[in-house]
Structure 1
Amino acid sequence: MIMIMKILRFLLPALLGLAALALALGAGLYFYITPQLPSIEALRDVRFQVPLRIYSSDGQLIAEYGEKRRAPVTYEQVPELLVKAFLAAEDDRFFVHPGVDYQGLLRAAFELARTGEKRQGGSTITMQVARNFFLSREKTYLRKLTEIFLALKIERELSKQQILELYLNKIYLGQRAYGVGAAAQIYYGKAIDELTLPQMAMIAGLPKAPSRDNPVSDMLRAEQRRNYVLRRMYTLDYIDAERYRQALVAPISARLHARNSELEAGYVAEMVRAHMVERFGEQAYTEGYQVRTTLDSSRQRAANRALRAALMEYDRRHGYRGHEGLVKLPEAAPAEAAARALTDRSRLAGLVPAVVLALEEQAFTALLKDGREVTVAWEGIEWARPYLSHDRRGKAPTQAADVVEPGAIVRLQELEEGWRLAQLPAIEGALVSLLPDDGAIVALVGGLDYFRSKFNRAVQARRQPGSSFKPFIYSAALDKGFTAATIINDAPVVFDDPGLEAHWRPENYSGRFYGPTRLREALTHSRNLVSIRLLQDIGVRFAIDYVQRFGFQPGQLPANLSLALGSGSVTPLQMARGFAVFANGGYRIEPYFIDRILDGRGETVFEARPPTVCRDCEPEADAELPPVPAADPAVMLADPPGPAPLPRAERVLEPRNSWLMNSLLQDVIKRGTGRRALTLGRGDLRGKTGTTNDQRDAWFCGFTPGLVSIAWVGFDELAPLGRGETGGRAALPMWIDYMQTALEGMPEQRRDPPAGLVTVRIDPVTGLLSPSGQTGAIFETFRQEQVPTRYSRAEASDGEGMDQDNESAEPLF
């Protein structure tokens, strides 16, 4: 006993001294570290890195850009059971301790003393918040002390609920998911309030080792961790025995749920992304911006379908170019070798990669990338005559072996009637559709598939418009004093044009000449020689100045007579802008594709304010309108609008000119090169086909008063499309297919002619007034000051009928 007392008398001062030393050391560290601690005020206004998201006008997700996937939530939005799951896994004394759990620290210290290893950190949720927001993850004693002092400071200045909200939004949970909102979406495709108990426990178990223990990377370890969290919840009386037992046996339902695009519009998404980075810099990817585009999801899907269908139809017309590759199939395990060959091949334009496994006489079996084996019947093979050139195909196949062989890597297309052999078209195309009254782009496709080629042909490809440019020349002629009944001789001619540096002998597409021709008939049937003579009469310089009204720039246009045949350089979007002037009654608009930008708080930071047609804002005056150069199409953005009305689109065409051009372009549909569009069964269609030399570009530019749509087809390398591949054959079907859907629910629109127009009967051969009783006379509309004053001498004429008979055999182009 005496010995014990002596030992105590010796130890007590020593212990007191050590305690005093520890206190002094702690105080010293406190006063050394505390001044260096960051301000907690930053946590009150923390901004999480949230990706850029792009939507259609009706709210469908197009794309998401950003390294971190995050969907911030408030504390009130987090289910109570999910909070308890995290408390059970990470810090069950969270609502009791002051930011530092001394019991946990003592356990960690004991473990360190027992094993010599730092197996337990003793970190509370508050300490994790301190580390995640302000500190590095290095494991040093100084950093740990800083973390402790910072946690105490956080607890003094923030409520427990605020701290938990920060933690649940910041914590990394694997698979690029930051926060519980993102984790619920990525692992289960759900909002947090839709999670089941086992799913909550799975997510709550991730912070310890998110990259290793998540259910996508290692399902077994993730299940073990989930069950540990459930056991802790049961021990802490957060759940009862029955719920615990049910949750333990629940299957692992987690899988990767990337936030999939709801609308395929890769070309527009890239246009938006580039614009956002230009405007906001790299913060565009992290500040949670939401961009609402002008795209209409139904029309965009229709554009995707129409373009692909047209390109694939063209491709089939020109023959099968053969398989994409060949893999040797061993007899022992052919399917395994085939599956390996498909690893790096993806679905493009709806066409599925496959490997041919076996042949029958008129069918073959193929393995798809998803492991399915499918049979392609003869109906899906017989089209595949070998491709020889753009104008020639080989003999029609008689058996499957004439087309494919075992091991061939091919593309298949799934149709309602079964599978069909296909191939990725070598040809490309573009389709753009916009509203003519304000320029809102409702659909845009820049190629067969964005993931095959990111080159956006709708806005980047400058191609020759061919005959689709003629309406702008005809509008200039009307402005110069010509009429729809003006006679121009369609006859052979040789031009010695210095701008062309050679003699030029232009021809009509058919190679025929039709003699004296009214302008209406010349545009209806796309007569090249009439267009050239017309341009010669009005003057090339006048025409170039005039077409600037439609948004074309002089640098895009040749200063010679080939301008009449569309030898300039334009994009499909520029053509859409130009034709919108005809569609809306004579106003120049600016195409735009961003309607609104919201910041991370959901507040509007930018809103489109495009110049908009206002027909009631000005009198329909017959005044001369000078050509006004315009800027290239752009994103029409400005600060959020105040009470001021939208800017008005500028009138650039005199109303009577606009109405007459609509009448001429309507005849192109009714009885000219665009008459296939009559299958739409509408009376308000206008348009113009376009084909360039050697059929290198095929266009159809068409519209109704409420919608302008441009279709283009061509090879990137400017190869010929082939004999007969005119605008009416290669591009018009795409336009028709798209407009069939795009015009659903839109009633036909008709505009009354403006004042100052007069309709009279004329002789179709001379363009003069028709004498009483003349057979074959037709009606034509003129400006009142241009009505013919002389009568034709013909007593009878069937010229119009002859003209139509002659055209019946002319190809559509």
Structure 2
Amino acid sequence: MSRLDARVVRKLQHVFYTAFDIAVVLAILLLAMLVYVHQYGGAVLGRYPEKLKLPESSVILASDGSVLRRIPLPESGYRVTARLEEMPELLVKTFLAVEDQRFYSHQGLDYPGILRAALHNTLQLSASEGGSSITQQLARNLYLNRDKNMLRKLKEASIALALEKRLPKKEILQLYLNQIYMGQGQYGVKSAAEYYFGITQLKELEIWQIAALAAIPKGPSVYNPGAEGERSKGRRDLVLQIMQQQGLITHKEMVTAMNKEFQPVERAKAKRIGDSYIDAALKEASRLTGHSLEELRTGGYTIVTGMKPAAQQVLEESFGNPEFFPPDGTTQQVEAAMAIINHHTGDVVALTGGRQPSLGGINRAIIDARQPGSAFKPVIDYGPALESGRFTPDSMLPDRKETYGDYSPDNLNGIYRGQVNMSLALQQSINAPAVWLLKQVGIPSARSFAAKLGVALPPEDNNLSIALGGLHTGVSPLKMAQAYSVFASGGIFHEAHTVRSIADAEGRTLYTYTPTHRQVISQRTAASMTVMLRNVVNNGTGAKARMNLPVAGKTGTTQAGLPGVTGKANRDLWFAGYTPDLTAAVWMGFDRTDKDNYMTAGSGKAAGLFSAVMNKVYASARR
């Protein structure tokens, strides 16, 4: 062999060995890629099983069945799910014709579609055509981001294959049609049908509407029916052509559908109400079901409440009027909260936890954080005394300066009358007789009475200062309204509730409020208390709560007690009372009372707000 031949042979050997090495490396990489594709998806599905349960917007309804709120999903959109059986066959077949014609023949990856897309993208020098199957789209939407790179495509393929092994085709298709983004913050075909066309029963969709929905996934922001320009109609008409080509509709039906014009659904622009109420209802539903607040927001639940929308709107409009409130402080606005109960049923008909309430914000109506002052006297002093049978509204009580151990309460004006009857003591909110009464009845008996009215006090309140509403943690307006509602209903306890019923996404009832009629105090006590509390409004401290209806109620004030600040500074202003049908409690004050933020107004402000709101609530009920 010549030297030249030897060199040629060596070069050929080198090329061969290099090619062999490359082939081995490629084979190893291909094997690794195949292993990755077949293992990764299964691991992801096993690690995140919750992804296969789509979050669905829960719905909060008012007592009349009107929708108060659809709770937005974490991604700030809305979804209402539907089973395949609820969808018209034409809708399902149209989506398959547009998005994945070989859906029922492939195992997650549509290889002809992938090759066609690759060829098209190569010829066009772009990546405009994806070739993804419906299963791949679902895999991407559930588990991945939208980055366009080889690793993401491998992950997508792997998860798609795993989904096909884990779920039947019907379930994959149902998930896809409920998961896919449909523009304008709507997820899934049912939510989109209701949003764009006002249709809640999918089988009522017309051909042109089905085509419009199937047109959206290609570009949700530009092809949804509400998008500006003609692109959405052009895409819809293309879908109609595909439907006709696939034999899903006739040529005549296609032409008729193409001539249909989209008309946006009229949406009510009424002011959104009830943030505080909905917050309270969700917390109550969580307590009743054991589900977390997040589960209740995104589980597709339907929660029916006792809210009367007209009453709630009146309440919030009144809270928006600064004339009803004391002047603001230097750094804070005076806040307020109010709860209104139908004391015949226990329904909370309206509630607000602030002057500018927000969902998830501070809900002062349900937080036990405020000292009730003299508004607590009927609950802890006069009610227990009447119930004991030892006292009547005409009983004479001492009105003298007394010291009980290290507790020495004062009358607010420093005047002591020697003795007064019980009705006058309550009418004028005199402190000394109230404390004396609690001492006579006994703290245990008084605490037991308050608990029957829905106010269970902690051990730290085992002292005489509770006679004047000095509580360790305080009470909420809702609890005060609950307590007074027992007097209003003749001694019967109807549990105050915001939630009437709860149903899950499948329509199964999880909870229904069952009315109970517990006679917790005597009718005699309730009737006597009502007479005395009406006297408070007609002739005493609650005069500003008067209405054209009989009103019974009591004011309450707690002093600020701040060093270097006027003795007229107040921390809390209250009025709790009732009409023949409704019981309500109002609180006013600062979130943080200090030398720059305190009130000099009295509890007449709270009584005046009670009257203003309740008058309008009754007027709205008559309309």
Structure 2 length normalisation: TM-score?
0.72
Residue 149 of structure 1, CA deviation: 8.9
Cα distance in 2 for partners of 1:187, 1:544 equals 62
What residue number does 1:474 align with? Answer: 382
List per-residue Cα deviations over 1:163-187 (Å, max 9, x = no partner).
Answer: 5333312222234432111222344
Matched, 1:62 2:64: no
* Aligned equivalent of 1:49, options 39, 55, 69: 55
Residue 546 of structure 1, CA deviation: 0.7
1:359-374 aligned within 5 A = none
What residue number does 1:507 align with? Answer: 413
Residue 284 of structure 1, CA deviation: 0.7
Equivalent position amino acid for 1:520 in 2: S
1:24-35 aligned within 5 A = none
Equivalent position amino acid for 1:481 in 2: R
Contact 1:712-1:731 at 8 Å conserved across structures: no
Residue 223 of structure 1, CA deviation: 4.3
* Aligned equivalent of 2:394, options 474, 482, 485: 485
What residue number does 1:173 align with? Answer: 182
Cα distance in 1 for partners of 2:606, 2:36 equals 80
Residue 485 of structure 1, CA deviation: 1.8
Equivalent position amino acid for 2:499 in 1: I
Residue 286 of structure 1, CA deviation: 7.0
Residue 221 of structure 1, CA deviation: 4.4
Matched residue SS, 1:454: coil
Residue 202 of structure 1, CA deviation: 3.3
What residue number does 2:239 align with? Answer: 229
Contact 1:485-1:519 at 8 Å conserved across structures: yes
What residue number does 1:203 align with? Answer: 213
Residue 532 of structure 1, CA deviation: 1.4
Cα distance in 2 for partners of 1:709, 1:539 equals 29
Residue 290 of structure 1, CA deviation: 1.6
Matched residue SS, 2:130: coil
Residue 250 of structure 1, CA deviation: 5.2
Cα distance in 2 for partners of 1:238, 1:532 equals 87
Contact 1:201-1:226 at 8 Å conserved across structures: yes
What residue number does 1:22 align with? Answer: none
Matched residue SS, 1:577: helix
Residue 296 of structure 1, CA deviation: 2.5
What residue number does 1:703 align with? Answer: 578
Contact 1:583-1:708 at 8 Å conserved across structures: yes
Matched, 1:184 2:193: yes
Matched, 1:729 2:605: no
* Aligned equivalent of 2:432, options 517, 532, 541: 532
Matched, 1:553 2:457: yes
Greater share of strand: 1
Cα distance in 2 for partners of 1:152, 1:565 equals 71
Equivalent position amino acid for 1:55 in 2: L
Cα distance in 2 for partners of 1:656, 1:230 equals 76
Instruction: Name the CA shift for 1:449/1:198 in 2 (closer, same or farther; >3 Å).
Output: farther
What residue number does 1:580 align with? Answer: 485
Matched, 1:613 2:517: yes
1:67-466 aligned within 5 A = 67=74, 69-92=78-101, 103-112=112-121, 114-115=123-124, 117-129=126-138, 132=141, 162-191=171-200, 192-193=202-203, 195=205, 197-211=207-221, 213-214=223-224, 219=229, 221-236=231-246, 238-239=248-249, 244=254, 247-248=257-258, 253=263, 264-274=273-283, 279-281=290-292, 284=295, 288-293=299-304, 295-298=305-308, 300-306=309-315, 308-309=317-318, 312=321, 314-315=323-324, 426-436=333-343, 439-451=346-358, 454-460=361-367, 462-466=369-373
Residue 50 of structure 1, CA deviation: 1.4
Equivalent position amino acid for 2:53 in 1: R
Contact 1:688-1:701 at 8 Å conserved across structures: yes
Cα distance in 1 for partners of 2:360, 2:191 equals 31
Instruction: Name the CA shift for 1:276/1:591 in 2 (closer, same or farther; >3 Å).
Output: closer
What residue number does 1:542 align with? Answer: 442
Matched residue SS, 2:183: coil
Equivalent position amino acid for 1:477 in 2: A
List per-residue Cα deviations over 1:695-749 (Å, max 9, x = no partner).
Answer: 654433223676432233444446325379455434333344435557x79xxxx
Instruction: Name the CA shift for 1:609/1:256 in 2 (closer, same or farther; >3 Å).
Output: same
Contact 2:310-2:620 at 8 Å conserved across structures: no
Residue 265 of structure 1, CA deviation: 1.6
**Structure label with greater radius of gyration:** 1
Contact 2:55-2:298 at 8 Å conserved across structures: yes
List per-residue Cα deviations over 1:563-602 (Å, max 9, x = no partner).
Answer: 5554544321221232233234445665443344433333
Cα distance in 2 for partners of 1:574, 1:141 equals 61
Matched, 1:601 2:494: no
Cα distance in 2 for partners of 1:169, 1:534 equals 63
Cα distance in 1 for partners of 2:90, 2:307 equals 38
Contact 1:188-1:256 at 8 Å conserved across structures: no
Residue 676 of structure 1, CA deviation: 6.8
Equivalent position amino acid for 2:432 in 1: I
* Aligned equivalent of 1:686, options 542, 547, 552: 552
Matched residue SS, 2:216: coil
What residue number does 2:565 align with? Answer: none
Cα distance in 2 for partners of 1:178, 1:59 equals 24
Instruction: Name the CA shift for 1:574/1:548 in 2 (closer, same or farther; >3 Å).
Output: farther
Instruction: Name the CA shift for 1:304/1:656 in 2 (closer, same or farther; >3 Å).
Output: same
Residue 49 of structure 1, CA deviation: 1.9
How many residues align? The count is: 569
Equivalent position amino acid for 2:276 in 1: Y
Contact 2:274-2:351 at 8 Å conserved across structures: yes
Greater share of helix: 2
Cα distance in 1 for partners of 2:41, 2:346 equals 54
Matched residue SS, 2:351: strand
Equivalent position amino acid for 1:507 in 2: N
Cα distance in 1 for partners of 2:557, 2:371 equals 9
Equivalent position amino acid for 2:446 in 1: Y
1:661-672 aligned within 5 A = 661-668=529-536
What residue number does 2:422 align with? Answer: 519
Give the gaps of 5 or more residues in structure 2: 1-28, 560-567
Instruction: Name the CA shift for 1:262/1:232 in 2 (closer, same or farther; >3 Å).
Output: farther
Contact 1:437-1:613 at 8 Å conserved across structures: no
Cα distance in 2 for partners of 1:50, 1:73 equals 10
